């Protein structure tokens, strides 16, 4: 496949967007960018710097400090993966817990945060050959992407996947709490003022409730092959 394209993957939380995007990028030899991790990194910055205090997000302080926040990725050869870096510090493991999950939707809804991250994301995709996943990649970041996938799955199935993932990390968590977080984030993401989560008119929907990661990867690869053959 000599023709390089931009692949935008959007969808609900805990749909396996990142896993699928990573596998797809490896298969195609493309660059992978986890935009969700970028917003999680900003959220962690807020938690560590007194921007989230007493269950309140200080949006004014966040707007004032957004230009101090630099998010990037480094390759970890031991784990064979890209990991998230916040202002030069690897914070990959820190951003994956429930503490960050509970606030990331609110933080990412702030207009100035989205503007700053979108600028970085567009820069990353200027040469194409990129797979990017998030909530607004096909609708806002790359509206002209050659392939747009919108991923979805039943909330209970997504919650079970997330619960299993957190259990492996030995987090003290209950399934009902994870399910409530999933439903809350869905509602927030779909109804926020800035870049709400929605399926683009030209996006292809992929419901992975009852298919395996291998099956969905093969399905997307077939869509890519159709486009690059045109």
Half-sphere exposure of 27 (CA within 13 A, CB side): 16
Q: Per the domain annotation, does 222 fall within a domain?
A: yes
Query: What is the model's pLDDT at position 170?
Result: 74
Q: Per the domain annotation, does 75 fall within a domain?
A: yes
Query: What is the model's pLDDT at position 1?
Result: 54
3 state SS for the chain: CCCCCEEEEEECCCCCHHHHHHHHHHHHCCEEEEHHHHHHHHHHHHHHCCCEECCEECHHHHHHHHHHCCEEEEEECCCCEEEEEECCEECCCHHHCHHHHHHHHHHHCCHHHHHHHHHHHHHHCCCCCEEEEECCHHHHHCCCCCEEEEEECCHHHHHHHHHHHHHHCCCCCCHHHHHHHHHHHHHHHHHCCCCCCCCCCCCEEEECCCCCHHHHHHHHHHHHHHHHCC
Closest CA to 112 of 63, 65, 71: 63
Read off the tokens for 95.
């951003």
Q: Per the domain annotation, does 162 fall within a domain?
A: yes
Q: Per the domain annotation, does 1 fall within a domain?
A: no
Query: What is the model's pLDDT at position 115?
Result: 94
195: domain CATH number is 3.40.50.300
Number of domains in the chain: 1
Q: What is the CA radius of gyration of the chain?
A: 17
Q: Per the domain annotation, does 123 fall within a domain?
A: yes
Q: Which own/partner pairs from 88-92 qualify as long-range (CB within 8 Å, at least 24 positions apart)?
A: 91/41, 91/44, 92/37
Q: CA 132 to CA 180: how far, in whole Å?
A: 27
Q: CA 189 to CA 12: how far, in whole Å?
A: 8
Task: Please state, as a whole number, how many other Cβ atoms lie within 10 Å of the Cβ of residue 170.
Answer: 7
Report the relative pairing of strands 56-57 and 52-53 from DSSP bridges. antiparallel
Mind listing the pLDDT tens digit of every residue in the chain (230 residues)? 578 999 999 999 999 998 999 999 999 989 898 898 999 999 999 999 999 999 999 999 999 999 999 998 888 889 888 899 999 999 999 999 989 999 999 999 999 999 999 998 998 899 899 999 988 999 999 999 999 999 999 999 999 999 998 888 877 889 999 999 999 999 989 998 888 899 999 999 999 999 999 999 999 999 999 999 88
Q: Per the domain annotation, does 33 fall within a domain?
A: yes
Q: CA 46 to CA 78: how far, in whole Å?
A: 29
Query: What is the model's pLDDT at position 77?
Result: 87
Range of the structural domain that residue 102 is part of: 6-228
State pTM to two decimals: 0.81
Closest CA to 39 of 71, 16, 15, 17: 71
Q: Residue 68 class from Cβ within 10 Å (0-12 exposed, 13-18 middle, 19+ buried)?
A: exposed
Query: What is the model's pLDDT at position 154?
Result: 97
Q: Per the domain annotation, does 113 fall within a domain?
A: yes
């Amino acid at each position: 496949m000599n023709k390089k394209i931009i692949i935008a993957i959007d969808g609900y939380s805990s749909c396996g967007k990142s896993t699928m995007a990573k596998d797809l990028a490896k298969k195609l030899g493309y660059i992978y960018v986890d935009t969700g991790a970028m917003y999680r990194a900003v959220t962690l910055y807020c938690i560590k710097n007194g921007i989230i205090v007493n269950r309140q997000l200080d949006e004014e302080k966040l707007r004032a400090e957004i230009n101090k926040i630099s998010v990037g990725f480094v390759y970890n050869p031991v784990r064979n993966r890209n990991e998230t870096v916040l202002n030069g510090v690897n914070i990959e493991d820190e951003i994956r817990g429930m503490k960050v999950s509970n606030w990331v939707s609110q933080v990412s809804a702030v207009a100035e945060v989205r503007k700053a991250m979108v600028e970085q994301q567009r820069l990353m995709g200027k040469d194409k050959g990129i797979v990017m996943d998030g909530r607004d990649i096909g609708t806002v970041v790359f509206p002209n992407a050659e392939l747009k996938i919108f991923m979805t799955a039943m909330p209970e199935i997504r919650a079970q996947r997330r619960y299993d993932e957190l259990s492996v990390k030995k987090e003290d968590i209950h399934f009902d709490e994870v399910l409530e977080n999933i439903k809350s984030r869905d509602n927030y993401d779909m109804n926020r003022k800035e870049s709400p989560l929605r399926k683009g008119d030209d996006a292809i929907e992929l419901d992975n409730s009852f298919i395996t990661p291998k099956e969905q990867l093969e399905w997307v690869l077939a869509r890519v092959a159709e486009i690059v053959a045109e």
